[in-house]
Amino acid sequence: MLNIQQQVPLLKYNTLALPSTAEYFCKVASDNELQEALAWARQKQLPITLLGGGSNVVLASDLACLVIHIAIPGIELVSEPNQAEKIIRVGAGEDWHQLVLYTLEQGWYGLENLSLIPGLAGAAPIQNIGAYGVELSDRFHSLEAIKLSSGEAITMTLDDCQFGYRDSFFKGAGRDQYVITAVNLKLSAKANLCLEYPALRQYLETKTLAGVTPPAITPKQVSDAVCAIRRSKLPDPTEIANAGSFFKNPVISSEQLETLKQKYPNLVNYEQADGRKKLAAGWLVEQAGWKGITSSGVGVHDHQALVLVNYHGTGKDLLSLAGDIQASVLDKFAISLEIEPRVYCK
């Protein structure tokens, strides 16, 4: 039975451990419970905020709404179009990293580069999560969602989701209109490794598998390497409150890059398929002098400048620091940094 509570602290529901209180709160573990929660909110004429793992949000105020915590479980093989291809259905409340480990155990490959990304499966399409040369859209088949305004259940295809770099339909025209209940992924029984990302390739060559040729590398070894790299760069949110990468890596034109390189010849950049260049936001923040800085209970991580951390501050403190960083990077490089997590504030 659905249990709707009042005045619920959200400290444990966001990895930045920011103080915030939900006026109303419930946890849903099935589509039926979700429909019941949506109907209740419509009856009370309350806005809705959806929370999954809380790893990509900044709670900068209390939430005067019904907060629905998505906890719908389930991982199942639903189709085998051919001997190699496997389509699996994943409940929106499944932990993403545990999903990756489970698929590797089953011999369903394709998610290994996306290991150790925090959060739940239902949030993965919203952000079009990506790491080390692979994006969710590369492994995506379809998703199941419910329209918030009416409770209508729909299925959305790859084209429907309009995926882009850390972007999707759900961050644009579909923002705050749908709740994802399940994600269908297209995996393979045959390993088809993506080892092009420089940091991953270097790690495999020098630290894990010296002298081993790429065909001998297994998906599990790729996953282990990704986990090791991520742990060396990003703090564990259970030890230091953070939301991972706080700023998107900006994408600029080749002409803008050449202008910047005249002044900053060591500017870190990556070639994009459309000819533009992606810059490392962490490098920009570090070069602007912010690495390790603390202020008002929040700060920039001392090992990874892309990560903002919370020691004992508030969401407003964190956003103030982020604004100062953005202004500094804009002044130094003429580049605007975009905040990656979803910000909730009055």
Q: Which residues fall within 8 angstroms of residue 175, CB to CB, at 6 or more apart? A: none
Distance between CA atoms of 340 and 335, rounded to whole angstroms? 15
Pairing of the two strands 298-300 and 307-310: antiparallel
The strand ranges marked E within the chain are 5-9, 21-28, 48-51, 57-59, 63-70, 75-79, 85-91, 130-131, 134-135, 140-147, 153-157, 178-188, 241-245, 251-252, 269-271, 277-279, 294-295, 298-300, 307-310, 342-344
Torsion sign (Cα): 170, 319, 237, 12: negative
Distance between CA atoms of 37 and 59, rounded to whole angstroms? 22
Distance between CA atoms of 183 and 72, rounded to whole angstroms? 11
* Active site (catalytic) residues: 166, 245, 340
Distance between CA atoms of 263 and 63, rounded to whole angstroms? 45
Strand partners, 66: 24, 48
Do 226 and 131 form a contact (C-beta atoms < 8 A)?
yes
Distance between CA atoms of 244 and 200, rounded to whole angstroms? 19
Residue identified by tokens 């949506």 is: 38
